[in-house]
């Protein structure tokens, strides 16, 4: 009989009418975001960075420009290079995260932001001042130690640079400020607990 299918269809849409709308009113409401989200505003811990420029070398797009200066220190004794220029062109970044994977000292992390629209392309290039001044909201992507600590980047707690990386403080015994405080429960260089 003709019309039965139409009636069935009307019932289907009527069920949708009684349902709550699936829409999320974006600026007012937000979808829960994954903590491994690879977002903008790279989080950079300047105290961890040695200026090795691994990130720039591994970037497939070549959008990271880094210039370093010996800064008079002796790197044999654990002294770091001073990073003078650290430009990341986020307008061309594809957020692959290779720079974060490449970083040997866990100094660079993916950010957790996605609302960084600008009116001009030049404004999308972030430089060393911006990276230093930014609040630290590192994504837990490729940083399992952050996940182990149940770190939520969207809670808005800037991380202490000591807690951000997997790096062991005993790698740099010359720098007393990197040594763990009393009562630190993290493993030693050999993977043993104190």
For 38, 82, 158, 163, 174, the CA distances from 148, given in Å and listed in that order, are 18, 31, 17, 11, 28
Query: Do 128 and 85 touch, CB atoms closer than 8 A?
Result: yes
Does 187 sit near other proteins (CB under 8 A)? no
The residue whose two tokens read 């404004």 is 123
Task: Looking at residues 117 to 156 of the shown chain, list those that interact with other proteins (rule: CB under 8 A).
Answer: none
Contact between 9 and other proteins by CB under 8 A: the answer reads yes
Q: How many CB atoms lie within 10 A of CB 28?
A: 6
Residues 81 and 71 sit within 8 Å (Cβ to Cβ): yes
Binding status of residue 26 toward other proteins by CB under 8 A: no
Rounded to 5 degrees, what angle do the CA atoms 139, 143, 147 make?
80
CB of 3 or CB of 176, closer to other proteins: 3
Using the rule CB under 8 A, is 31 a contact of other proteins? no
Of the candidate spans 2-10, 44-52, 120-128, 129-137, the one that interacts with other proteins by CB under 8 A turns out to be 2-10
Residue 97, Cα to own-chain centre: how many angstroms?
9
> Number of residues in contact with other proteins, rule: CB under 8 A?
17
Interacting residue with other proteins among 17, 31, 117, 133 (CB under 8 A): 17
The terminus-to-terminus CA distance of the chain in angstroms comes to 80
The residue (of 5 and 60) whose beta carbon lies closer to other proteins is 5
- 91 close to 121: Cβ distance less than 8 angstroms: yes
Per CB under 8 A, 22 contacts other proteins: yes
DSSP 191: S
* Least distance between other proteins and beta carbon 53 (Å): 47
CB of 24 vs other proteins, minimal distance in Å: 10
> Which one among 2, 26, 119, 193 touches other proteins, defined by CB under 8 A?
2
30 binds other proteins (CB under 8 A): no
**Binding site residues, other proteins, CB under 8 A:** 1-3, 6, 9-10, 12-14, 16-17, 19-23, 25
């Amino acid at each position: 009989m003709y019309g039965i299918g139409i009636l069935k269809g009307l019932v289907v849409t009527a069920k949708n009418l009684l349902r709550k709308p699936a829409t999320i009113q974006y600026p007012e409401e937000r979808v829960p975001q994954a903590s491994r989200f690879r977002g903008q505003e790279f989080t950079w811990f300047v105290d961890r960075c040695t200026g090795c420029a691994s990130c720039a070398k591994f970037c497939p797009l070549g959008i990271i420009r880094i210039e370093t200066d010996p800064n008079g220190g002796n790197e044999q004794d654990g002294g770091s290079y001073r990073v003078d220029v650290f430009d990341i062109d986020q307008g061309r970044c594809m957020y692959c995260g290779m720079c974060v994977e490449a970083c040997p000292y866990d100094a660079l992390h993916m950010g957790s932001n996605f609302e960084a629209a600008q009116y001009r392309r030049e404004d999308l290039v972030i430089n060393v001042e911006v990276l230093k001044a930014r609040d630290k909201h590192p994504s837990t992507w490729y940083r399992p130690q952050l996940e182990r600590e149940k770190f939520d980047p969207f809670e808005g707690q800037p991380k202490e640079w000591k807690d951000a990386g997997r790096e062991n403080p005993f790698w740099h015994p010359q720098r007393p400020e990197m040594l763990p405080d009393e009562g630190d429960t993290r493993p030693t260089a050999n993977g043993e607990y104190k």
